[in-house]
Structure formats: C-alpha cells, structure tokens
Chains A and B, each alone.
Chain A
Amino acid sequence: MNWMAKTRPAVTSSAAGVAPSKPGPAAKAAGPSANVRISNGLKEFLWLISDVPRGRVLDLGPVWQSTVNFFVDKGYRVSTEDLLRTWKDFLTAEEENFRAAPVGAQTERISPAALAGKFLETNLQYPERSFHGVLAWDLLDYFDPEVAPRLMERVSQLLHPGGAMLTMFHSRAAERFHRYRVIDSQSVELIASPTLAVHAHVFQNREILGLFADFRSSKTFVGRDQIREALFLK
C-alpha cells in the first residue's frame, strides 16, 4: 500500500467538525438529534485500506450493527474487541483478587505497566500482522499513560505492513464519555455512554509521535471540537 501513489480523497472543508454541513445520506438518516461528526480521518483510513481485497479490520470499540454492516458490505472481515471495557473488567478482577488474598500473603500492588503486561497475556491475542486496519477511536485518552504504550506496541504487531490505524485525541479532558460508530464513509456518530473510565491523559503531539514510533507515517486532522484525528501508517 502506498500512501502517495493513489488519488487522495478530498478533505471536507468542515475539517472534522461536529454537525457536518453536508452529511451523507446515512448520516442524514441518523436524525437531527444524532451527534454525527464528519471524519476526514475515517475517509482517509478507508482510502488507505481500500486496496486490500477482503481486508481485515479490528475495531477496538464496542460492537455496533452499523459499523459491522459498513465494513462487511464492503467485503471486509471485522473483528471487535471492546478494549476499554475489557481492561476495566480486568482491573476489577485484579482488585477482587487482591482483596480476597489472605492476610500476610505475598500480594503487592503491581505497577500499571506490569498490569498491562498481564492484561496482554490474555487479551489482543491475534497472530501478528492479522489486520489491515485498526480503529482505536479515542480510547488511548482513557488509559494510564504507562499502559497506553504497551497496548500500542501490541496493536502495532497486529497490523500488517502498510496497514492503517485511526485514533483520536482530545485536546482537553473530555466532558462526556462517548462511543463511536461508523455511519458512512465520512461520518461517525458519537454515542453518549455511561462513563466507563475517566479521561486519564491529554496527549501532547510529541507523546503521540512517541506512542506510534513503530509507524512510518502519520497524518493529523484537527476538528473544530478540538479533537485531533490521527492516522498512522505502518
């Protein structure tokens, strides 16, 4: 896959802002109250993986009918792993084990990075180079800064060379916790959800580049809502 070889899709002038001026038909059908966001990052992401017939996409958010349909209709195979929820479940189980341990037992609270290592022993267990695209949404903002690099290291291993990864970063602490689902090739819907985790960290550009050091190219779109969409190419 060559980042430069193809005709690039036109970037929408609303620059990834909320309430697009010209949403697609599916986005219109979402209704006026729907929190639909134009996503140039998604558009570029789709363009990058469009060369791969029957490509494999990993969605690290919760499973949504519309997202699965969107990719399956285009011939992709979709895997979903609600990473943040799995992580929270894992932390809860760890906490319970810690509390249940008998007094005097050799139980010490382990560091977030070590917890991440333990978490990865049972999660994100796919063969290397399994996926041509990964949708990480804004999940990294909700992980401990020590955990995020470990997770990205694993996700990087899962990506096929030439594969793309779409992430989002808030420029300030997010006021509400949202989930994302794909509406059409340029729109995502933000679903306000019960807070699964508090916003943990606002990543600076330097930190973002450090997180994705294994990737060879990046592109960022900044929206009017101060969400930075970052696209990385392995």
Chain B
Amino acid sequence: MWRKPTEGKPSSESYNHPVSSSTPVESPRPASPSYAPPAAPPSRSSIESAPATLGSNSSKISSGLKINGEISGSADLYIDGEVQGKLRLGQARVTVGPNGRVQADIEAREIMVDGTVNGNLKAGERAHFGASSRVNGTVLTPRIGIDDGARLRGKVETVQAAPARETSTSVKQQATEALQSVEASVPGE
C-alpha cells in the first residue's frame, strides 16, 4: 500500500548524471532541446515579440540580428542572433540557440546554451550546455548540466542557489499585509 511508484525512481544507469544533494544535476536532454522554440519568421525589429511557445513574457533575438549593449529586465530571452555587451536578467531564463553568438557576461536565473558564448555566466538556479554549445568563460551556478559534445573552456564553480521568487513574493505579501494592518489601526477621518 505504501509502495512508491517506480516511475518516480531515478534510474541506476544515470552514472554520468548522478543526483547529489550538494550539486543536483539535470536529467539529460534530447538532442533537440525542448526549450528551443520553433523556427520563427524573420523579424523587422531588433527584438521581436516572442512566439507564443516562448511564453507571453519572453522575447527573442532572431538569427541575423545583432545587438550591442546592455540588456536587462525580467522577461525570458531567446537568442539566436548576435549579442555583445551585458545581459542582466536575474529572474529570467536566457537561452542561446544553436545559431546564437554571445559575447557578453550573462546573469540570469537559468542559462541554457546551445550556441557560442564568450563571457562569464552566473546562473541563479542552473546552467545547461547542449551538445553543440561552445562556452568560453567562468560558470557560477548551483546546478550544471553538460551534454556530451559540449565544449567548455573555463572554470565551473558551484554556488548556493539564489533565493526563489516565491520567497520574495511572500515577503512582499507579508509586508503589504503588515502595512494594511497598520493602516487599519490608524483612526479614519
């Protein structure tokens, strides 16, 4: 009656992806990553609205586009073009597609690379390098996934996971409630 379902049990054959309490590792990804969006028609603007499959809060830099400068914000970003400068998307996911070429430091919650990155990567939750990825720089992340064939030239260092968004939301909610209770205790006009 108390037996656990077997499908939830990790496979014993995943020797190269061992699950560890200190450095949890992602399960291997298929050759064509599920996080890659389908091919989109060329865009006229430098940053186009992302296809629906990327999510409503996502943007895409298509192949053939080049951006030079700093990109910051909280929306997920898919890069299949060229970016130089700096990427600061602390609470979002940055995906560098197979055609993507990034020459910038990247700071994001999740960093997925299938293209080329020259720069230091800092992931709040995890970083994943696909088989076609070429990364040159230091990687700071709590969790890392590396597909066979990935090329990494640089240092891998594990850091503590960044506090989850839910935590900050709940703190914010508590603060709002506290403020409301203070307002409620103030005598009305």
* Residues of A bordering B, CB below 8 Å: 26-27, 29-31, 56, 62-66, 68-69, 72-73, 77-82, 85-86, 181, 183
Q: Mark B144-160, 1 if CB is under 8 A from A, else 0.
A: 11111011111111100
Give chain A residues whose Cβ lies under 8 Å from the Cβ of B15: 26-27, 29-30, 66, 183
CA gap between A62 and B25 in the complex, in Å: 19
Query: How many residues on chain B are close to A (CB under 8 Å)?
Result: 26
Assuming the A-B contacts A82-B151, A86-B153, are A65 and B17 also in contact, with contact meaning beta carbons closer than 8 angstroms in the complex?
yes
Shortest CB–CB separation between residue A19 and chain B, in angstroms? 16
Shortest CB–CB separation between residue B96 and chain A, in angstroms? 16
Give chain A residues whose Cβ lies under 8 Å from the Cβ of B176: none
Give chain B residues whose Cβ lies under 8 Å from the Cβ of A183: 15-16
Shortest CB–CB separation between residue B112 and chain A, in angstroms? 15
CA gap between A68 and B15 in the complex, in Å: 12
Which chain A residue shows the least CB distance to B156? Answer: A78
Assuming the A-B contacts A31-B13, A72-B23, are A64 and B155 also in contact, with contact meaning beta carbons closer than 8 angstroms in the complex?
no
Give chain B residues whose Cβ lies under 8 Å from the Cβ of A30: 15-16
CA gap between A82 and B129 in the complex, in Å: 15
Can you give 30 A-B contacts (C-beta < 8 A)?
A29-B15, A30-B15, A30-B16, A62-B151, A63-B150, A63-B151, A63-B152, A64-B16, A64-B146, A65-B145, A66-B15, A66-B17, A68-B156, A69-B16, A69-B17, A69-B23, A72-B23, A73-B18, A73-B23, A77-B156, A77-B157, A79-B154, A79-B155, A80-B152, A80-B153, A80-B154, A80-B156, A82-B153, A85-B151, A183-B15
Give the 5 A-B residue pairs with the shortest CB-CB distance, closest first: A66-B16, A29-B15, A63-B152, A65-B146, A79-B155
Give chain B residues whose Cβ lies under 8 Å from the Cβ of A68: 144, 146, 156
CA gap between A73 and B146 in the complex, in Å: 15
Give chain A residues whose Cβ lies under 8 Å from the Cβ of B158: 72
